[in-house]
Amino acid sequence: MNAAEEKHPVAATQAAEAPQWEHYSKCIHCGLCLNACPTYRLLGVEMDSPRGRIYQMIQVEQGRLRLGKPYAHHMDLCLNCRACETACPSGVEYGRLVEAARSEIERAYRRPWAERWARKFFFDYLLPSRRRLEMAGNVLRMFQRSGLEKALLTSGVLKIMPGRMDAVARLAPRMEKPFFTDWLGRVIPASGGRRYRVAFFAGCIANLAFARLNEATVRLLARNGCEVVIPKAQGCCGALHVHAGLRDTARQLAVANITAFAREGVDAIITNTAGCGAVLKEYPILFERADREWHEPAKGFSARVKDVTEFLASIDFCQDFAPVKARATYQDPCHLLHAQRIRSAPRKLLAAIPGLDLVELKEAEICCGSAGIYNVVQNEMAERLLAAKMRRIDETGADMILTANPGCLLQLRAGVARSTQNQRRVLHVVELLDEAGRKQELT
Amino acid sequence: MKSPPLIRELVRATNTEAVLWRAEDLLLYEYDALSVMRQPEAVVFPTTTEEVVRVVGIAAQQGVSVIPRGAGTGLSGGATVAERGILIALSRMNKIVEIDLENQRARVQPGVVNLDLSRAVEDAGYYFAPDPSSQKACTLGGNVAENSGGPHTLAYGVTTHHALGLEIVLSDGDVIHTGAKFWDRPGYDLTGVVVGSEGTLGIVTEITVRLCRLPEAVKTLLAIFDRVLDATRTVAAITARGITPAALEMMDGFTLRAVEAATGAGYPIDSAAVLLIEVEGLREAVEEQAQAIEAVCRENSAREVRCARSEEERALLWKGRKNAFGALGRIAPNYYVQDGVIPRTRLPEMLEFTAEVEKRYALRIGNIFHAGDGNLHPLIMFDARDRSECERVVRAARDLIAKCVEMGGSITGEHGVGVEKNELMPLIFSEDDLEMQRRIKGVFNPSGLFNPGKVLPTGKMCGELRIQIGAGA
Ligand SMILES: Cc1cc2nc3c(=O)[nH]c(=O)nc-3n(C[C@H](O)[C@H](O)[C@H](O)COP(=O)(O)OP(=O)(O)OC[C@H]3O[C@@H](n4cnc5c(N)ncnc54)[C@H](O)[C@@H]3O)c2cc1C
Ligand code: SF4
Ligand code: SF4
């Protein structure tokens, strides 16, 4: 039923989507972005710095550098965390550049077969289809519950497998039954008087792996006077496709979502996932050079998209919380902080919880290594970033770690699980707000 | 592709991951923040002083020169290759070796980023005072090599006032230590000689720096003027009253409109110029100074004098100022930033001259000054695709620098000489002066191994700026 499930012809439009002069010429190679870049901080080489990556794009455009394996490697190693955008005084839109570069790589560079196959399966077959995702989710859940997964992880079998199977397997999210897919198509009434009518963007994998978080988000919105519509025809946002350079598929997914939400007269379209939010807000960019007729509808759609923390902080949100006795710290999700420029909203919400001692995390603006599926495809780099992150978290002495994006939750939970320090709770800001709010209602 | 013998030796002296030599990698080491030059033959990333010594040894033996590189934020081409050579990149020597708060000092490797050092000691109430606008990216090794300063140079001095001692690898592979852990050092001030030597005397492998205590109170004022002339007069008037603010910066209307568009810090876009003035110290003294400064501004026809009310407001004003180059970078595809010094009493005259140059060459120039020190940063806007414009840019820059010299100033305030201005050195030094400098270089770096073609004039393009403007952009 998803438009994206149909096969699509060769990506002819992507040729026009290479990095454009009007965007890369803004880079004055000043280097002020270097130390903000997680890969540069670890490797210290220009090729893996924002300035160097932009320079490589320019050299490819000018024919001085071959669009080959080394180029693809440096572009792949980029987390697309966009910390360089925050650091850049010249307003270089790096995210747009790297996404364009990757689309060009997709068109002109042939990856090794195993990688091609895996990408095809994941991006074209799995993500765009709710039915297939759900099937895969059920299989994974059986595997997790049967004890097979545990057996496999403890057996050490994975350690002798090629690549980094062992580390990667540990990142697989828990499948949370009942899936949130049951909620699609429903309208949840506001508790108390209705002040807003909002639509909830539920995501794709999140419906299976973050079903409880999605429920908490909807509950919290309802508690704040929102009638919540959950359109049935919505699907994957396409963020991972945009990051991977698969713009044609991304456009199909975008069109499906724009259409699904267009029917609803709502004040805002709300997501609890920073990565989705960033791309949903940037849908118009996808239609700048292809399928132009969707550019205006995309603008209308994107203008209504709000991160859940952004939305709540902008309204007179319900501050009736039970006290939470905890020392907590907050890690900024890159796509919230750098892509959407949202910093104060989650902090403002947390500050309203009585008893919560929020200590600022040093280097909170640096990626934890999660970055979409980066921790799977670039596992070694991701592990190094996670280790650095956990050291900083340990320094805070926090017994609760907060963030605002499911991908970061998975990564940080993996970090906590292997840490030798006390086990700490890792929560989405929404989960804590929901928990403290409900506790208060009970008392 | 098989690696050449030089590469194999460098790998042996370090490790495989520490050496770049493939064409596609070297391509990314042809630039710094100024311009595009030649590509190195290899880039080596040592992690210890011993590795630096071994690499220098190999280079000396094979007769290839060595160019040290920090973060490559330099604005005079210092970290690029002028002739032939290998780069020693210090980005992986980025450990803070020791923090000794009781004695207000820290020992660091040269690749530590300026701001990272301040961040590491801020909780304890300390910071590293030199604050170049590039401080979130540039390295302390680069700061030492360029003798960098920043807005707070006016009160706290430049890097040389904060570098207590250095460990340096010389061209024959000897490792020497200059200075001491304390202020008072017997003998010749070799630290002072090496600070500002732009990588031409040796490779700095460790630095002992002074840490300053964060002030008890800080007050940041924004004085707004309807005439540029009034703003420049105010600068001299403030210091004439015997007040030394911690920082005294000026931006003209053109610049601050760009800054405001980029940062939204609250700069008044309808004004002709602003002064950003900071005073710090003990609470009462700060209050008193701020009042005195406000009075001087008003006497000199300031339209308004604002005071930052919160730390956020203050941080935002500074963010605007520190990102000013980049903000102007948004307006035109390219800019060329000049760096000259004049006596601060002559700021009004200099600004008039800049306006003349703008007209003469049909260019737009933004004016950003560390006004308190008379350090000018005119930013000349252009489009690199327009070759004739590029030529005019270089001529305009040359005229501005010549004017600084004529006024009794200097060809560079803080961005260094590098490859850009070495042929201008005769404008401010006599042949005898230069000969003495050559002799000093000969003592440290007799074979000319380190960073050749920089700082001292080669005599090839006498009296000209050496920059290929817009190359690679
Ligand atoms: C936007 C912008 C704003 C700037 N603002 C300021 C400012 O306010 N004040 C200021 O002073 N400068 C400023 N600069 C210039 C520059 O940032 C400084 O000169 C800085 O100190 C350079 O540091 P780096 O690590 O990038 O050095 P690089 O550019 O890598 O190298 C600079 C020079 O130092 C040498 N060098 C580097 N490391 C070593 C070492 N370990 N041993 C020996 N030699 C070495 C190199 O050979 C080269 O000659 C600015 C630059 C930019 C792009
Ligand atoms: S991306 Fe921005 S900060 Fe980085 S080098 Fe380019 S202009 Fe400078
Ligand atoms: S997006 Fe992140 S990883 Fe990629 S260049 Fe920018 S800062 Fe580096």
**pLDDT for the residue numbered A158:** 55
Alpha-carbon distances, residue B296 vs B145, B179, B229, B252 (angstroms): 37, 42, 14, 19
Same-domain status, A404 and A387:
yes
Q: Which of A25, A78, A88 to mutate to test the pocket of ligand 2 (most atoms within 8 A of CB)?
A: A88
Q: Which of B28, B31, B112, B330 to mutate to test the interface with A (most CBs of A within 10 A)?
A: B28
CATH number for the domain harbouring residue A60: 1.10.1060.10
**pLDDT for the residue numbered A9:** 39
Residue B30 pLDDT greater than 90, yes or no: yes
The CA distance from B335 to the nearest CA of chain A, in Å, is: 8
What's B299-339 look like in SS3?
A: HCCEEEEEECCCHHHHHHHHHHHHCHHHHHHCCCCEEEECC
Same-domain status, A224 and A138:
no
Q: How far is the CA of B133 from the centre of ligand 1 (A)?
A: 11
Residue A2 covered by a domain:
no
d(CA A235, CA A247): 16
The CA distance from B326 to the nearest CA of chain A, in Å, is: 4
Alpha helices in A263-314 (DSSP H): 274-281, 283-286, 295-304, 308-314
Chain A partners of B120 at a C-beta cutoff of 8 Å?
none
* Chain B stretch 454-473, residues whose beta carbon is closer than 8 A to a beta carbon of chain A: 472-473
Q: What is the mean pLDDT of residues A408-426?
A: 88
Q: Which of B28, B137, B326 sits opposite A90 (nearest CB)?
A: B326
Residue B421 pLDDT greater than 60, yes or no: yes
**pLDDT for the residue numbered A135:** 74
Q: Does ligand 1 have an atom closer than 6 angstroms to the CB of B67?
A: yes
Residue A113 covered by a domain:
no
Report percent pLDDT > 70 for chain B. Answer: 97
Ligand nearest to the CA of A36: 3
Q: Cβ separation of A25 and B20 shorter than 8 Å?
A: no
Which among B281, B371, B368 is positioned nearest to B322, based on CA atoms? B368
Confidence tier at A378 by pLDDT (50, 70, 90): confident
Residue A174 covered by a domain:
no
Closest residue CA from atom 4 of ligand 3: A78
Residue A7 covered by a domain:
no
Location of structure tokens 């999605």? A214
* Structure-model confidence comparison of residues B399 and A377, the more confident one: B399
Same-domain status, A20 and A90:
yes
Q: What is the mean pLDDT of residues A393-397?
A: 94
The mean pLDDT of chain B is: 92
Name the β-bridge partners of A272: none
Q: What is the pLDDT of residues B148-198, one digit of tens each?
A: 999 888 889 999 999 999 999 999 999 999 987 666 677 889 999 999 999
Confidence tier at A136 by pLDDT (50, 70, 90): confident
- The boundaries of the domain holding residue A72 are 14-108
The CA distance from A39 to the nearest CA of chain B, in Å, is: 12
Answer for the pair B47, B417: CB distance below 8 angstroms, yes or no. no
Location of structure tokens 């979130």? B136
Ligand nearest to the CA of A55: 2
Q: Which residue of A has its CA nearest to B72?
A: A31
Chain B partners of A65 at a C-beta cutoff of 8 Å?
24, 27
Q: What is the pLDDT of residues A82-101, one digit of tens each?
A: 999 999 999 999 999 999 99
Does residue A66 sit at the B interface (CB-CB below 8 Å)? yes
**Residue where a domain stops, chosen among A313, A342, A367:** A313
Same-domain status, A222 and A259:
yes
Q: Cβ separation of A89 and B22 shorter than 8 Å?
A: no
Q: What is the pLDDT of residues B302-313, one digit of tens each?
A: 999 999 999 999
Same-domain status, A279 and A163:
no
Which among A166, A176, A115 is positioned nearest to A144, based on CA atoms? A176
The most confident of the ranges A131-145, A146-160, A216-230 is A216-230
Same-domain status, A212 and A304:
yes
Does residue B119 sit at the A interface (CB-CB below 8 Å)? yes
Q: Cβ separation of A35 and B116 shorter than 8 Å?
A: yes
CATH number for the domain harbouring residue A202: 1.20.1050
Residue B382 pLDDT greater than 50, yes or no: yes
CATH number for the domain harbouring residue A372: 3.40.50
Q: How far is the CA of A277 from the centre of ligand 3 (A)?
A: 18
Pocket of ligand 2 (CB under 6 A): A 27-33, 50-51, 54, 84, 87-88, 90, 92
Ligand nearest to the CA of A51: 2
The CA distance from A65 to the nearest CA of chain B, in Å, is: 7
Q: Which two tokens stand for residue B176?
A: 């020497």
**pLDDT for the residue numbered A204:** 86
d(CA B179, CA B189): 7
Q: Does ligand 3 have an atom closer than 6 angstroms to the CB of A238?
A: no
Residue A291 covered by a domain:
yes
Which among B97, B127, B101 is positioned nearest to B115, based on CA atoms? B127
Report percent pLDDT > 90 for chain B. Answer: 78
Residue A299 pLDDT greater than 80, yes or no: yes
**pLDDT for the residue numbered B409:** 93
Residue A8 pLDDT greater than 70, yes or no: no
Residue A233 covered by a domain:
yes
**pLDDT for the residue numbered A12:** 45
Residue B123 pLDDT greater than 60, yes or no: yes
Confidence tier at B472 by pLDDT (50, 70, 90): very low
Q: Which of A32, A44, A46 sits opposite B137 (nearest CB)?
A: A32
Q: Does ligand 3 have an atom closer than 6 angstroms to the CB of A53?
A: yes
Same-domain status, A291 and A411:
no
**pLDDT for the residue numbered A165:** 57
Same-domain status, A380 and A301:
no
Q: Which of B31, B111, B119 sits opposite A29 (nearest CB)?
A: B31
**pLDDT for the residue numbered A276:** 95
Question: How does strand B163-169 pair with strand B126-127?
Answer: unpaired
Helix and strand element counts for chain B (H, E): 15, 19
**3-class DSSP state of B210:** strand
Q: Cβ separation of B326 and A25 shorter than 8 Å?
A: no
Total domains present in chain A: 4
Closest residue CA from atom 7 of ligand 2: A27
Residue A283 pLDDT greater than 80, yes or no: yes
Residue B266 pLDDT greater than 80, yes or no: yes
Question: How does strand B105-108 pair with strand B126-127?
Answer: unpaired
CATH numbers and ranges of domains, chain B: 5-89 (3.30.43.10), 96-213 (3.30.465.10), 217-327 (3.30.70.2190), 331-471 (3.30.70.2740)
**pLDDT for the residue numbered A7:** 40
**pLDDT for the residue numbered A149:** 66
Q: Cβ separation of B333 and A55 shorter than 8 Å?
A: no
Confidence tier at A264 by pLDDT (50, 70, 90): confident
Sign of torsion over alpha carbons B148, B152, B158, B159: negative
Q: What is the pLDDT of residues B243-265, one digit of tens each?
A: 889 999 999 999 999 999 988 88
Residue A391 covered by a domain:
yes
Q: Does ligand 1 have an atom closer than 6 angstroms to the CB of B131?
A: no
Q: What is the mean pLDDT of residues A400-419?
A: 92
Residue B471 pLDDT greater than 50, yes or no: no
Q: Does ligand 1 have an atom closer than 6 angstroms to the CB of B166?
A: no
Same-domain status, A307 and A185:
yes
Q: Cβ separation of A35 and B92 shorter than 8 Å?
A: no
Q: Which residue of B has its CA nearest to A30?
A: B33
Q: How far is the CA of A29 from the centre of ligand 1 (A)?
A: 13
**pLDDT for the residue numbered A167:** 62
Q: How far is the CA of A87 from the centre of ligand 2 (A)?
A: 8
Does residue A28 sit at the B interface (CB-CB below 8 Å)? yes
Does residue B51 sit at the A interface (CB-CB below 8 Å)? no
Chain A partners of B91 at a C-beta cutoff of 8 Å?
40, 44-45
Chain A partners of B111 at a C-beta cutoff of 8 Å?
44
**pLDDT for the residue numbered B473:** 36
Q: Does ligand 3 have an atom closer than 6 angstroms to the CB of A83?
A: yes
The mean pLDDT of chain A is: 88
**3-class DSSP state of B362:** coil
d(CA A206, CA A190): 23
Q: What is the pLDDT of residues A103-124, one digit of tens each?
A: 999 888 888 877 777 777 777 7
Q: How far is the CA of B32 from the centre of ligand 1 (A)?
A: 9
The CA distance from B337 to the nearest CA of chain A, in Å, is: 11
**3-class DSSP state of A198:** strand
Chain B partners of A55 at a C-beta cutoff of 8 Å?
27-28, 31, 472
Phi first, then psi, for residue B268 (nearest 5°) are -75, 110
Going by the DSSP 8-state scheme, the letter that residue B370 receives in this structure is: E
Same-domain status, A362 and A348:
yes
Alpha-carbon distances, residue A436 vs A195, A377, B51 (angstroms): 22, 37, 56
Residue A303 pLDDT greater than 90, yes or no: yes
Q: How far is the CA of A91 from the centre of ligand 3 (A)?
A: 14
Q: Cβ separation of B134 and A32 shorter than 8 Å?
A: yes
Name the β-bridge partners of A269: A199, A305
Location of structure tokens 């999660």? A370
The CA distance from B35 to the nearest CA of chain A, in Å, is: 9
Q: Cβ separation of A29 and B33 shorter than 8 Å?
A: yes
Neighbours of B458 (CB within 10 A): 15
Name the β-bridge partners of B434: none
Residue A10 pLDDT greater than 50, yes or no: no
Residue A129 pLDDT greater than 80, yes or no: no
Same-domain status, A129 and A215:
no
Chain B partners of A32 at a C-beta cutoff of 8 Å?
73, 134, 136-137, 326
The CA distance from A361 to the nearest CA of chain B, in Å, is: 12
Residue A296 pLDDT greater than 70, yes or no: yes
Q: Cβ separation of A52 and B28 shorter than 8 Å?
A: yes
Residue B325 pLDDT greater than 80, yes or no: yes
**pLDDT for the residue numbered A189:** 96
Q: What is the pLDDT of residues B95-106, one digit of tens each?
A: 999 999 999 999
Residue A222 pLDDT greater than 70, yes or no: yes
Does residue A35 sit at the B interface (CB-CB below 8 Å)? yes
The CA distance from A26 to the nearest CA of chain B, in Å, is: 6
Chain A partners of B20 at a C-beta cutoff of 8 Å?
45
Q: Does ligand 3 have an atom closer than 6 angstroms to the CB of A50?
A: yes
Residue A237 covered by a domain:
yes
Same-domain status, A102 and A160:
no
